[in-house]
Amino acid sequence: MRFRKGRLAACVLIGLVIMMPVSVLGSQSSDDDCVKEWTMLVFWCADNNLEFCTEFAMDAWERALTSNDEVNVIAMVDLLSVNGTWIYEVEGEDSRVVKEYPELNTSDPAVLKMFVEYGMETYPSEKTLLVVQDHGFGWRGMCKDETNGSSLMSVDGLANALVEVKDARDGKGVDLLAFDACSMSTIEVAYEFRNAVSYLVSSQTVVPYDGLPYMMTVSDMVADPDMSPEELAADIVEDYVEYYSDRWNYEHIYSYSQDYSTVAALNMSHMQEVGDAFIDFTEVLSSEMDKHLSHVMSARMDATIGNWANIGGWEWQPDLGVFMEDLVGVISPELDATIEDFFGALDAAMVLEAHSDRYDGRVHGLNVYFPPSQSMYDSCAYWWAKMFVYHESNLDIVSESRWYECLMKYYGTI
């Protein structure tokens, strides 16, 4: 019996080795003596038309990481043109594959969870920055994997994955989440991550092909690894606007400046209060909507801030702050009080908001879903968007607030 058990154990071990990524046996081991200050985990979902951005980003990571004494840079990369998924460890001016998988669906939250768990366990550090890169579609999600049917990773799926990582590590999860994706700085998205991460960095509008200012950010991490998560979040915000305001002093995939860049960093410990204030706002507005449609329409139009009229852009996600400001003094004192509470909560949560000069202060860091018409809400103009239904999105702020009711009254269906 002992012999049989030993043979069974050996067969299981061999099977596990065969199923493991080819270079798993050579990956760095978890050792308290190797704990660094920062690990930057990059979930690079380029299984779509953003594949061409990959080389530019990896070159930036490699050149910026002049010393990895206190900073790890680890990236999971999925491409469209080849089957397979790889985890890279960036080492100075080079990168090496430490894990290789068959083709994975990088729109699956379980894949992201696996990568984050692997990165935090294998490359331990005091603080963790997670970058999630790909197309962003606001509340609908991100990480469009075209090899797997153009599916998206849902916002609640991503948030739940990070909560599970945090719970499994006795409350020690991702410190800073940064979205390298368009249109992700919305009330719906930010509220969903309030219990998942400590800080969030995202943009209300288009993120150009270059993505986050990786050369600047990684260089800053190397130069000052003692930065706190809040300090790094503010640093990314400052670097982002500077990078896209200068076409000459920084390398770009295309030689352009981004005149309409926006980015904000939020302290998620205050996000519950922001959500509560928004919920109160929707409860009052829903009772007043049918009497003040013209005021609401005017405020919505004034709050359109972006430059691409797509499902995640300016026509569908106006700036929430401008929208609220324009309603002050025109509907009711009760609504004004909820708006004042909202801005108080947002000010407490906002680490830093920055934007291009052309916005002239007309952005506040968060958008809200507000299509211009019922047909746009129903996604009649875009077949792919029909897969995503706002009021069935499982997002907390949608179910806890009366914003959906406000929208339906605005469109005249209630």
Query: Which has more confidence, 8 or 148?
Result: 148
Residue 316's pLDDT is: 86
Q: What is the percent of the chain with per-residue pLDDT over 90, rounded to a whole number? A: 77
Condensed to tens digits (0 to 9), the pLDDT of residues 346-366 reads 999 999 999 988 888 789 999
Condensed to tens digits (0 to 9), the pLDDT of residues 215-242 reads 999 999 999 999 999 999 999 999 999 9
Please determine, for residue 64, whether its predicted confidence score (pLDDT) is greater than 60: yes
Please determine, for residue 4, whether its predicted confidence score (pLDDT) is greater than 70: no
Condensed to tens digits (0 to 9), the pLDDT of residues 260-283 reads 889 999 999 999 999 999 999 999
Which amino acid is residue 377, in one-letter code?
Y
Q: Where in the chain is the domain with CATH 3.40.50.11970?
A: 29-270
Residue 280's pLDDT is: 99
Residue 262's pLDDT is: 93
Residue 33's pLDDT is: 61
Look at the domain 29-270 and name its fold.
Rossmann fold (3.40.50)
Chain centroid, CA 25 distance in Å: 32
Residue 310's pLDDT is: 52
Residue 361's pLDDT is: 77
Residue 27's pLDDT is: 55
Instruction: Tell me the mean pLDDT in the region 325-332.
Output: 98
Residue 381's pLDDT is: 54
Residue 28's pLDDT is: 56
| Confidence label for 386 from pLDDT (cuts 50, 70 and 90) | confident
| Confidence label for 116 from pLDDT (cuts 50, 70 and 90) | very high
**The 3-state secondary structure of the chain, one letter per residue:** CHHHHHHHHHHHHHHHHHHCCCCHHHCCCCCHHHCEEEEEEEEEEECCCCHHHHHHHHHHHHHHCCCCCCEEEEEEEEECCCCCEEEEEEECCEEEEEEEECCCCCCCHHHHHHHHHHHHHHCCEEEEEEEEECCECHHHCEEEEHHHCCEEECHHHHHHHHHHHHHHCCCCCCCEEEEECCCCCEHHHHHHCCCCCCEEEECCCCCCCCCCCHHHHHHHHHHCCCCCHHHHHHHHHHHHHHHHCCCCCCCCCCCCCCCCCEEEEEEHHHHHHHHHHHHHHHHHHHHHHHHCHHHHHHHHHHCCCCCCCCCCCCCCCCEHHHHHHCCCCCCCHHHHHHHHHHHHHHHHHEEEEEECHHHCCCCCCCECCCCCCHHHHCCCCCHHHHHCCHHHCCCHHHHHCCHHHHHHHHCCCC
